[in-house]
């Protein structure tokens, strides 16, 4: 244990397990780390603290560390770590720097309204490649990724993605994206699966006989999952109270959202936390029951994505394939022209604990 999270896909990291349950481990006394930082620039290297600390100080530190580990150990999510976390580590560890079209980058930076900090983070090194992207897996309550270093793909406008250039002659930058992921996750909790490419159109046809546009159905589904207030949804859809109640009732019955919310609320009531599909502990602010389903769906979606991307990358291999970014429910790849058909051929992916494969959408980015 060092207090710093290990990123190796083979490393077993107790610090990560502690973070997953919200536990802050015993640290080396600050006066000693401060002394070391006066001598070293940058991050601290591996320091043999058993030799660097006074003997009595180290004994006390080690004793406290052992005791707290014994106390916390029964709560550590080992199954989740093995089933989901390690897959995410493999995916993020496989990401490579992206080649940047400097001319297009400069053109976009002169357009009013473009988010300049996002674009600036893609400025390439002399090699023509960006700095490596570094994600934080703990910055959000649900585990959704944030970028802490390197090119911030999460805030780059879609219209600016043509700055991403293939490193292969005649190659392509493409994405593989889960279709309506969070809706499918909640649907699976109701014991239902949809193999349709457009789940919202399917719901429109099956539940409303095609009388409601799929975009209206999508708005209602996402509103219910994200806990949008009844008044806001009514304003968006522009319908009467009676029609809204009937409409939402059908959606909730189909997804069995109330059953899922009740189960999650019972989990929180008994343990103070709820678990996502794979066992990641999650917290929801007191009195925010409207966030339960969304928190569950979003966090489970993070792990479904990572497990799915891990399976896809292992299937594709490394020849002519350079993974570049994870963009929430999508992975962005740099693909050699000889491998493009292989990538296009991935139309779905199996994910452990789900009976049906998740549909995947291919899209050319640049």
With vertex at residue 281, the alpha carbon angle to CA 294 and CA 9, rounded to the nearest 5 degrees, is 110
Q: What pLDDT, on the 0 to 100 scale, is given for residue 226?
A: 77
Q: 């290990």: which residue's tokens? A: 6
Q: What pLDDT, on the 0 to 100 scale, is given for residue 35?
A: 83
Q: What pLDDT, on the 0 to 100 scale, is given for residue 282?
A: 96
pLDDT digits (tens, 9 = 90+) for 250-293: 888 999 999 999 999 999 999 899 999 999 999 998 878 889 99
**Dihedral over Cα of 327, 6, 91, 322: its sign:** positive
Going from N- to C-terminal start, the domains of the chain cover 22-75, 86-179+300-364, 182-292
Q: Which stretches of the chain score pLDDT less than 70?
A: 1-11, 41-45, 113-115
Q: What pLDDT, on the 0 to 100 scale, is given for residue 364?
A: 97
CA dihedral of residues 303, 354, 260, 328 (deg, nearest 10): 30
Residues 261, 266: Cα–Cα separation, whole Å:
9
Residues 337, 347: Cα–Cα separation, whole Å:
19
pLDDT digits (tens, 9 = 90+) for 183-225: 999 999 999 998 888 999 999 999 988 888 898 888 888 887 7
Q: What pLDDT, on the 0 to 100 scale, is given for residue 114?
A: 62
Q: What pLDDT, on the 0 to 100 scale, is given for residue 103?
A: 95
Q: What pLDDT, on the 0 to 100 scale, is given for residue 1?
A: 47
Q: What pLDDT, on the 0 to 100 scale, is given for residue 10?
A: 54
Q: Is 268 exposed, middle or buried (0-12, 13-18, 19+ CB in 10 A)?
A: middle
Q: Is the pTM of this model over 0.85?
A: yes
> What single string gives the DSSP state of each residue in 269-282?
HHHS-EE-TT--EE
What's 182-292's CATH class?
mainly alpha
CATH annotation of 86-179+300-364: 3.30.70.370
Do residues 266 and 297 lie in contact, with contact meaning Cβ atoms separated by under 8 Å? no
């Amino acid at each position: 244990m060092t207090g710093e999270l290990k990123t190796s896909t083979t490393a077993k990291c107790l610090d990560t397990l502690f973070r997953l349950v919200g536990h802050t481990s015993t640290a080396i006394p600050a006066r000693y780390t401060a002394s070391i930082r006066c001598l070293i620039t940058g991050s601290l290297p591996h320091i043999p603290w058993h030799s660097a600390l006074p003997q009595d100080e180290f004994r006390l530190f080690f004793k406290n560390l052992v005791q707290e580990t014994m106390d916390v150990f029964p709560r550590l999510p080992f199954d989740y770590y093995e089933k989901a976390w390690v897959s995410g580590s493999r995916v993020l560890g496989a990401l490579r720097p992206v080649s940047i079209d400097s001319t297009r980058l400069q053109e976009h930076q002169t357009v009013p309204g473009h988010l300049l900090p996002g674009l600036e983070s893609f400025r390439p090194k002399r090699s023509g490649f960006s700095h490596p992207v570094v994600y934080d897996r703990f910055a959000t309550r649900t585990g959704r990724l944030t970028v802490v270093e390197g090119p911030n793909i999460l805030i780059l406008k879609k219209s600016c993605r043509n700055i991403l250039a293939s490193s292969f002659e005649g190659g392509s930058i493409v994405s593989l994206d889960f279709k309506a992921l969070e809706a499918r996750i909640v649907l699976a909790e109701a014991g239902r699966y949809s193999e349709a490419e457009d789940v919202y159109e399917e719901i429109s046809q099956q539940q409303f006989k095609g009388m409601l546009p799929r975009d209206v159905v999508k708005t209602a589904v996402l509103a219910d999952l994200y806990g949008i207030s009844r008044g806001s949804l009514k304003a968006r859809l522009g319908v009467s109270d009676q029609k809204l109640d009937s409409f939402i009732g059908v959606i909730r019955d189909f997804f069995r959202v109330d059953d899922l919310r009740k189960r999650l609320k019972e989990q929180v009531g008994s343990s103070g936390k709820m678990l996502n599909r794979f066992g990641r502990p999650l917290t929801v602010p007191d009195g925010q029951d409207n966030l339960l389903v969304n928190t569950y769906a979003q966090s489970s979606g993070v792990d479904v994505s990572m497990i799915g991307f891990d399976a896809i990358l292992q299937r594709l291999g490394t020849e002519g394939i350079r993974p570049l970014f994870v963009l929430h429910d999508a992975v962005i790849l740099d693909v050699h022209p000889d491998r493009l058909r292989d990538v296009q051929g991935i139309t779905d992916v199996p994910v452990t604990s789900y009976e049906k494969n998740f549909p995947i959408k291919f899209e050319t980015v640049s």
